Chain A
């Protein structure tokens, strides 16, 4: 068993980072949901969730990610997820997460995509803060 960890920090360029490691399940989903809400409520709308070290994501954890992406979209924000674990990626496809957020296998690729989205005017004309 690998204990779940949810850590948050700020990166250059106004990107907020949440790193996930271990087995994320119903109990840790609340912490993930809270960290995402904190980022959004602070007015920072470019969020990178790095799940490279995560070994298990259940439906509650995936629901927290969907909730974050859903809240960010109307304010012109974006959530990018880093994940290279084939089993977790398959779960994300089942939940159709690839339709509501950017998923990349490396942090560099995800960051590049976030920056590209930030440079693209939102449909209402706003740029990602």
Chain B
């Protein structure tokens, strides 16, 4: 796994070999990188979960670049962490009903625990981008309490093949 020099003090980019056995180390890297942010334990868990799910989807259903990598970019600022996960295939959540169900659940987590979620498809690559603000709320818990759930940014249905 190669890490480029930060493009600024709080921006980190990694080219990650597209293998699922890298994910536990990536979760650790993300947790370390978010240490500069005013995150509590739940913020950090939510960030690790969302990055994991996005990368697992990119590795399992997307495509690596010519060197066999997918890309992860973290930007840590006063408003939290912005994450970009890029693979080089079309945006797919699985080709069978069973896998569609599983991958759909993974993206449901991202949508529920992040404050903004966006999926950009372009010829040759797909980027999933999301933001977590410090002390963000878990949407599921808000829903249980009957609170209205807001969502900033675009939200696209991932069920496209």
Residues on A facing B (Cβ under 8 Å)? 1, 23, 25-27, 56, 58-60, 62-63, 86-87, 90-91, 93-95
- Cβ-neighbour of A1 out of B25, B46, B112, B140 (below 8 A): B25
B39 within 8 A of A: no
Interface residues of B in 80-133 (CB under 8 A from A): 101-103, 105-106, 108-109, 112-113
Residue from the list B41, B101, B106, B139 in contact with A87, Cβ < 8 A: B41
A87–B102 Cα distance when bound, in Å, is: 20
Residue on A with the closest CB to B53? Answer: A59
Number of residues of chain B lying within 8 A (CB) of chain A: 31
Of the A-B pairs whose beta carbons lie under 8 Å apart in the complex, a sample of 8, sorted by A's number, is A23-B24, A25-B20, A56-B27, A58-B52, A59-B102, A60-B102, A93-B144, A94-B140
Q: How distant is A30 from chain B, measured CB to nearest CB, in Å?
A: 10
Docked Cα-Cα span, A100 to B41, in Å, equals 28
Instruction: Tell me, in angstroms, the Cα distance from A1 to B56 when the chains sit together.
Output: 17
Besides the known contacts A56-B27, A60-B106, 16 further A-B residue pairs in the complex with CB atoms under 8 A apart: A23-B27, A25-B23, A25-B24, A25-B52, A26-B20, A26-B56, A27-B20, A27-B21, A56-B49, A63-B101, A87-B45, A91-B109, A93-B140, A94-B108, A94-B112, A95-B108
